[in-house]
Amino acid sequence: MSGEALPEASVSADAPAASAGTPVLRVRDLKKTYVVGFMRKKVEAVRGVSFEVRPGEIFGLLGPNGAGKTTTIKSILRLVHPSSGSIELFGGSPADPDVRAKVGYMPENPYVYQYLTPREFLDLCGRLVGMGKKERRDRAEAMIDQVKLRHAADRPIGKFSKGMMQRVGLAQALLHDPQLLVLDEPMSGLDPIGRKEVRDVLLAQRDAGKTLLFTSHVLSDVEVLCDRVVILRSGLVRASGELRELVRAEVERYELELADVADPLEAALAPLGELVRHPARLHLTLGERADVDRALALAMEHGAHVVALRPQQRSLEELFVEQTTDAAAP
């Protein structure tokens, strides 16, 4: 958590009535400069970030270490004071307690009381958000089951593994049944089974009509979960949009797989692209659609069989690397 005091409503926007079509979250030209140390050195953590999160979607905030993800999230939740820009939550100000009550937050490093058990900790969290005794107990038990912590529900959290700690953090974020879940690196510290379990919890939330915003480095999780993403680097948006569109945007290569290829055909295909010979198959990687047509015509002519023609899509990992390496700098 930041040590900064919570600011008054300094980046609120006009608050139109929320409606079905109103974004759950609207971030406009957000900037945050930290001033550090005696020399008052400036760190421009976020340098003009805009995006919107729509009702019912899973939105991913991606980027390498230090990109500004946590600062963006803390700004949205008013845990740090943005330098400029506007943030609207549910069409209103994030400073409004009624708006905040609709948000569940799991921090990057959940702060939990070491000597409390998950049951006690969740009870405390429920008290802090003003839940009654029965509601607290019912919700805490339901959350303990949801994050699969029943076996450890009465053990002190201080003895938990990182993965178990993450689950306590997740249970805490879900406790008051928020409309929007904001999760900072929810998969970190989890083994593959733990990641799948958290993924399933998040998907169940989406299926229940909730909206999710999360940061992650684990691109396979992002690829499975997210509807839309923003990729940040050095405090700026490098790419944004629907995940499927982003990874599909540039189909630059095609892979043609052929069987029954005799030597003359192989020689004719060689100039068109990159050939890889397997015992019974030939793989040809082609850069252009016109070359695909030529290769197919040659294959037909020589009596070869087309086993498959696959567009080679960029993976999220490739996109991520492209957008977050020095070559992508403006």
Ligand X SMILES: Nc1ncnc2c1ncn2[C@@H]1O[C@H](COP(=O)(O)OP(=O)(O)OP(=O)(O)O)[C@@H](O)[C@H]1O
| Cα–Cα distance, 273 to 167 (Å, whole number) | 49
Q: Where does this chain touch Mg ion (CB under 5 A) — which range of 62-70, 149-157, 199-207, 232-240?
A: 62-70
Rounded least distance, CB 328 to ligand X, Å: 16
Closest to ligand X by CB, 19 vs 65, is 65
Residues 53, 63, 70, 80: which binds Mg ion (CB under 5 A)? Answer: 70
Q: What is the 3-state secondary structure (H, E, C) of the chain?
A: CCCCCCCCCCCCCCCCCCCCCCCCEEEEEEEEEEEECCCCEEEEEEEEEEEEECCCCEEEEECCCCCCHHHHHHHHCCCCCCCEEEEEECCECCCCHHHHCCEEEECCCCCCCCCCCHHHHHHHHHHHCCCCHHHHHHHHHHHHHHCCCHHHCCCCHHHCCHHHHHHHHHHHHHCCCCCEEEEECCCCCCCHHHHHHHHHHHHHHHHCCCEEEEEECCHHHHHHHCCEEEEEECCEEEEEEEHHHHHHCCCCEEEEEEECCCHHHHHHHHHHCEEEECCCEEEEEECCHHHHHHHHHHHHHCCCEEEEEEEECCCHHHHHHHHHCHHHCC
Rounded least distance, CB 324 to Mg ion, Å: 14
Closest to Mg ion by CB, 49 vs 269, is 49
Closest to Mg ion by CB, 55 vs 60, is 60
Closest to ligand X by CB, 136 vs 195, is 195
Closest to ligand X by CB, 68 vs 118, is 68
Question: Residue 56's binding partner, choosing from Mg ion, ligand X, none, with beta-carbon cut-off 5 to 8 A by kind?
Answer: none
Closest to ligand X by CB, 69 vs 228, is 69
Lookup result for tokens 């107990």: 137
Question: Residue 257's binding partner, choosing from ligand X, Mg ion, none, with beta-carbon cut-off 5 to 8 A by kind?
Answer: none
# residues near Mg ion by CB under 5 A = 3
Rounded least distance, CB 158 to Mg ion, Å: 23
Q: Where does this chain touch Mg ion (CB under 5 A) — which range of 68-76, 124-132, 272-280, 308-316?
A: 68-76
User: Tokens representing 275?
Assistant: 């050939």
Rounded least distance, CB 184 to ligand X, Å: 7
Closest to ligand X by CB, 68 vs 82, is 68
Closest to ligand X by CB, 6 vs 36, is 36
Question: Residue 314's binding partner, choosing from ligand X, Mg ion, none, with beta-carbon cut-off 5 to 8 A by kind?
Answer: none
Draw the binding track, 89-128, toward Mg ion (x: CB under 5 A; -: no contact).
-------------------x--------------------
Quote the longest CA-to-CA distance of the chain: 81
The residue sitting closest to Mg ion, measured at its beta carbon, is 70
Q: Report CA dihedral (148, 118, 203, 95) to the nearest 10 degrees.
A: 180
Q: Are 46 and 72 in contact (CB under 8 A)?
A: yes
Is residue 234 near Mg ion by the rule CB under 5 A? Answer: no
Positions in the binding site for ligand X (CB under 6 A): 2, 34, 36, 43, 45, 63, 65-71, 108
Rounded least distance, CB 232 to Mg ion, Å: 10
Which residues make up the interface to Mg ion (CB under 5 A)? 69-70, 108
